[in-house]
Structure 1
Amino acid sequence: MAKRPKHEPETNKHLDRFKYTKDQAVEKPFNWAQMWRLLKYVKPYSKKLLPIAIIAMLVSTIVRLVVPILIGKVAIDIAIKGQDVPFLTKLVIGIFILYLLSYVGNVFRIKYVNILGQNVIYDLRQHLFSHVQRLSHRFFDTRSAGSILVRIMNDINSLQELFTNGIVNLLMDVVMLTGIVVILFVLSPKLAIAILVILPIMFYISTKLRRNIRRSWQDVRIQQSKLNSHLNESIQGIRITQSFSQEKENTEYFDGVNTDNFNSWDRAIKKSSMFRPFVEMSNAIGTVILIAFGAYLILNNSIEIGTFVTFSFYLGMFWEPISRLGMMYNQLLMAMAASERIFEFLDEEPNVEEKSDAVNLKDMKGHIEFDHVQFAYDEKRIALHDINLEMKQGETVALVGHTGSGKSTIANLISRFYDPTKGAVKIDGVDLRDATIDSVRQQISVVLQDTFIFSGTIMENIRFGNPNASDEEVIEASKVVGADDFIQRLNNGYETEVEERGNILSAGERQLLSFARALLANPKILILDEATASIDTETEVMIQEALRKLLKGRTAIMIAHRLSTIREADNIFVLENGKILENGSHNELMDQKGEYYELVKAQFQMLDAI
């Protein structure tokens, strides 16, 4: 066993940062309903791959059951005892042919169970990923990317052994054990009972281990989730870590999480490893009983030597599947621990539900209404209080206010990333809860301050807004927002690989790509959430005209602090603590000398100070 790390997980203060996680070990009995649910993923292959694997398994198993009888009862008690050399020769040839048949059966069994297993794993991972894609923002608010990654990758990978070998091997071992027990009792009931007397004791002790072993594998999954969460966080934030020289502190965090992961595996392996030696001890006891009691029966002419030899073969064969079943049980426990976590995600329903009779919002005009809307992220945090506002078709609306005033929440409700706690959000007079989610979001584009660039080419990233767009349409959208100039200066132009998160691009360049992506989608409603915050003043001036073209004929919601971005808006809503303080055009609000006036004055004072 590997040396235990120096940190004790119970006292590791660095793990406090993971208290938010929803992962926890649970004490449950073995859930057969859940296992049957897992096995349903085998159903699509039950007519082709599974029958071939089972037939191949039965052929090899039957051969293994028949050969000991041919050697003990036929070869020894008949051919050798009767000194029938021709018959013995034929028997040897026959046994050789049977072994060849068993070899062919094993080849087909291994081939098709692996094909079956890989297909099931593929389907399960695809199903889980597709389901997670459809979950609401609330789901991702309470879970780290690393913990989600662990479910889709590690937990499903842990089921691989079950589906590639476990299912058919379990059936093979059950058939083998049943066949051996039946044959032993047919050959000699007395000797069979004497040898198998150890079985009840073995099953009693192994049953006692189940609860602890299962809990241990649950804990392994939880610690792996924490480890992946920290790894994901550390890699994503490596620049911040290095900027503040926190590498040592981050390493200590990792050491603590890694120690817990190590110790969870250590405990699980120790408990699981107790089973195989116990099986081997049972085999040794059975062998002693066979020699002692078998010799007694031979001396009393109760059995023949061939029967004793046959028993010896079957005894060796008997404990092999018992040992495999023990390992299979460990696999089953690991699979149950993983499947609980997988089905927890699959059973998660979107908070933003789509009605069965939801309507398609075709040809959206872009008239938006908030009717007495209240929204809370949780019971203690109300983000919007009784909001009433109207955004007319084709109107450019600006939302301003301090951080936490509710600006982004309004944008999220329009995109229906959340549903209001009270009241209704309407587009073209239709309550968004009565419309299909896709029909709403397909006609809305969102440009965020922290824009996300996917690995791939510039062309692929812009085309993400409209997968059916031609290269010419992508280039035209880029020209409109002023992105074409810097793209053309890149070595491979639009075919330049941007690497993970667009690391080769500046913040401003990434923002311009997001503008081009939004324009290519040709939305009816455009939401710009601090979209020009990462663009320098020179670039901002360049894209002002592009923005005018982009916003023309569309309802636009702009969340920004820069006066230059919002002063030309048709209507400006000033928010504070989830309430609308005032609204109007730039000039109207300046004349009122209210909160907006103070915000503008403060901005000018800051610029003067610079």
Structure 2
Amino acid sequence: MDTLKKFIGYYKPYKNMFFMDMFCALTLSAIDLAFPMIVRYMLNDVYTNKTSDQIIKFVVLIGVALLAMYIIRYFCQYYITSWGHIMGAKMEADMRSDIFNHLQKLSFSYYDNNNTGKLMSRIITDLFDISELAHHGPEDLFISIIKILGSFIILMNINVKITSALFFLTMVMLYFSYFYNKKMKFIFMKNRQKIANVNAQIQDSLSGIRVVKSFSNEEVENSKFKKGNMEFLETKEAGYFIMGKFFSGNGFFQGILYLTVILLGGIFISMGEAKVSDLVIYILYINIFLNPIDKLVNFTEQFQKGITGFDRFLEIINTVPDIMDKPNAVELKEIKGEIEFNDVSFSYDDKSTILNNVNIKVNAGRNVALVGPSGGGKTTFCSLIPRFYEIDSGSIKIDGKDIRDIKLKSLRKVIGIVQQDVYMFSGTIKENIAYGKPGASDKEIIEAAKKANAHEFILNLEDGYDTFVGERGVKLSGGQKQRISIARAFLKNPPILILDEATSALDNESEKYIQKSLEELSKNRTTIVIAHRLSTIKNADEILVLTEDGIRESGTHEQLMHKKGIYASLYSLQFEQVS
């Protein structure tokens, strides 16, 4: 019931369209129910009790009335088919907007545990079935109930015994439908899960197509896809076997309804308890009666698909973001950029601790480098400052304010991040740079590109700033993508800057360009640098050596080399490798 309430809530903005749709459905049903009654009147009264002139007169009047009724029916059917579907599409768009907006609120930890391809399946495939249910569900159910009840009331007035027999058979059909509906709901849920797995496999394989081809592993990917595809096929086959029994069983019961009318009608006519015209009317009404039963059968399938999709939709919508603004959270203003870690501990999913009781103070405007062995928590350390993850204990402060007391949007606006793995959105170079400041002018974008040493290479491209970068920036080199990323950061102009191994994947020539750009970007900002190449951080104001046991060493390059500890060992090892 809670699921249905939430589903019904999406009708609220379109209640006028919904009620109009229901009114048209009611009118359409009433016209269909009226036709056999008109035929009965013609058979019993007009054709048998009237003169030829009167018959012609009545035929003309009834013909005009029927024409008017079917013109009204035309407009009602048009509204149901067009605006009814539009209402469903609008509700689908609202749901898609809600789920996308909610996904934007979820933290990194949610995406660490959920596959992007499966999420896309919920946004696209599931919502399409929900849209169909939103439109056809109430309408089909309403029309079916009106026609079935209307038919029974009319038929009860004609012959109680025949109608009672039909009512009993209908109850058996409804029980049959309920029994197989329960089976179909289970199989439809499995279908959703399996197609989501297939979508995830496709997304994963196509995203890594260059790696696939470089290792000649097309057969490996085909094998993985075939496994998921066959599992989906098996659940579809199981579903279709159940549907086969469901539809064929209902078809059998429909035949029994006709058989019952013919047998009982014949018996009662022979006994003088029914008229031949009544038998004709019964057959006409059974046609009207069977159509809503077909609609109910289709509705049950549609309902199971739609409500299963809506359940999966609610799974995401009901996921409470683990990182949210406090009710009294404040905006950051006039930032200096001081960062302080007080007894900070953190672990992923309550597993092994990554950071344990870390205490660090970075004064405003200082350039601090983080070094240490892989797995020591350097990237995690930096991810905690913008609250991409929530700490287990302790506190992180910016200018003396606990980041949990600051509005997330305000916090992240003052922090710029340049990562090793640069993400380029599908679009132009200009659009990718402007991501750092939506609505920036062309002059601001060009100025940011110049500061990032990107302006020259951009102008040498065929379409300059309007060059399409391709999916994930595939048309650009690593160094070019990195400079565009730095241009984004220049455009954002944040007082706090995090550089996460921004040059470790580049060749020496590209690194020179990037290093120069990063030095320019770091001026007059609090900067935290995660460095793989230790030669790039020799001039840092302070170097922190972070290991699994916390901060083991701190000082300038000269001080740490003099200590001959972990940093000196790492530096010497790199120097020997370079030599």
User: Which residue of structure 1 lines up, in the alignment, with residue 64 of structure 2?
Assistant: 93
User: Which residue of structure 2 lines up, in the alignment, with residue 12 of structure 1?
Assistant: none
C-alpha separation between the residues in 1 aligned to 2:209 and 2:127?
28
User: Given the alignment, which residue of 360, 384, 395 partners 2:355?
Assistant: 384
Q: Which residue identity lines up with residue 450 of structure 1 in the other structure?
A: D
1:66 aligns to 2:34 (yes or no):
yes
Query: How far does the alpha carbon of each residue in 1:37-80 deviate from its partner, in whole angstroms, 9 at most, with x for none?
Result: 11211110002x112212221221110011110012x1100111
1:370–1:426: 8 Å Cα contact kept in structure 2? Answer: yes
1:75–1:91: 8 Å Cα contact kept in structure 2? Answer: no
Distance 1:544 1:380, change over 3 A: closer
Alignment of 1:590-609 (within 5 A): 590-608=561-579
Q: Which residue identity lines up with residue 6 of structure 2 in the other structure?
A: R
Q: Any idea what SS the aligned residue of 2:469 has? A: coil
Q: Any idea what SS the aligned residue of 1:389 has? A: strand
User: Given the alignment, which residue of 325, 335, 355 partners 1:364?
Assistant: 335
1:448–1:531: 8 Å Cα contact kept in structure 2? Answer: yes
**Deviation of residue 580 (structure 1)?**
0.8
C-alpha separation between the residues in 2 aligned to 1:92 and 1:299?
33
Q: Any idea what SS the aligned residue of 2:320 has? A: coil
C-alpha separation between the residues in 2 aligned to 1:288 and 1:381?
72
Q: Any idea what SS the aligned residue of 1:532 has? A: coil
1:280–1:319: 8 Å Cα contact kept in structure 2? Answer: no
1:35 aligns to 2:4 (yes or no):
yes
Query: How far does the alpha carbon of each residue in 1:342-397 deviate from its partner, in whole angstroms, 9 at most, with x for none?
Result: 10000111111221111111222210000000000033321001100011101111
**Deviation of residue 269 (structure 1)?**
2.1
C-alpha separation between the residues in 2 aligned to 1:204 and 1:542?
75
Q: Any idea what SS the aligned residue of 2:359 has? A: strand
User: Which residue of structure 2 lines up, in the alignment, with residue 260 of structure 1?
Assistant: 231
Q: Which residue identity lines up with residue 4 of structure 2 in the other structure?
A: M
Q: Which residue identity lines up with residue 279 of structure 1 in the other structure?
A: N
User: Which residue of structure 1 lines up, in the alignment, with residue 250 of structure 2?
Assistant: 279
User: Which residue of structure 1 lines up, in the alignment, with residue 25 of structure 2?
Assistant: 57
1:159–1:335: 8 Å Cα contact kept in structure 2? Answer: yes
Please, what is the CA RMSD of the aligned residues? 1.4
Sequence identity, in percent?
A: 34
1:146–1:228: 8 Å Cα contact kept in structure 2? Answer: yes
Unaligned runs of 5+ in 2: none
C-alpha separation between the residues in 1 aligned to 2:408 and 2:296?
48
2:482–2:514: 8 Å Cα contact kept in structure 1? Answer: no
C-alpha separation between the residues in 2 aligned to 1:541 and 1:111?
61
Distance 1:545 1:204, change over 3 A: closer
Distance 1:543 1:33, change over 3 A: closer
User: Given the alignment, which residue of 13, 38, 53 partners 1:44?
Assistant: 13
C-alpha separation between the residues in 1 aligned to 2:514 and 2:297?
68
1:246 aligns to 2:217 (yes or no):
yes
User: Which residue of structure 2 lines up, in the alignment, with residue 82 of structure 1?
Assistant: 49
2:503–2:514: 8 Å Cα contact kept in structure 1? Answer: no
**Deviation of residue 110 (structure 1)?**
1.1
**Deviation of residue 555 (structure 1)?**
0.6
**Deviation of residue 498 (structure 1)?**
0.7
User: Which residue of structure 2 lines up, in the alignment, with residue 7 of structure 1?
Assistant: none
User: Which residue of structure 1 lines up, in the alignment, with residue 421 of structure 2?
Assistant: 450
User: Which residue of structure 2 lines up, in the alignment, with residue 192 of structure 1?
Assistant: 163
1:352–1:418: 8 Å Cα contact kept in structure 2? Answer: yes
C-alpha separation between the residues in 2 aligned to 1:70 and 1:276?
32
Which of 394-403 and 54-63 deviates more?
54-63
Unaligned runs of 5+ in 1: 1-31
C-alpha separation between the residues in 2 aligned to 1:321 and 1:545?
74
Query: How far does the alpha carbon of each residue in 1:301-323 deviate from its partner, in whole angstroms, 9 at most, with x for none?
Result: 32333322221111111111112
The size of the alignment, in residue pairs, is 575
Q: Any idea what SS the aligned residue of 2:10 has? A: helix
Alignment of 1:54-203 (within 5 A): 54-72=22-40, 74-83=41-50, 84-85=54-55, 86-203=57-174
Q: Which residue identity lines up with residue 42 of structure 2 in the other structure?
A: A
Query: How far does the alpha carbon of each residue in 1:321-349 deviate from its partner, in whole angstroms, 9 at most, with x for none?
Result: 11211111111111122111110000111
User: Given the alignment, which residue of 537, 540, 554 partners 1:583?
Assistant: 554
1:522 aligns to 2:493 (yes or no):
yes
Q: Which residue identity lines up with residue 448 of structure 2 in the other structure?
A: A
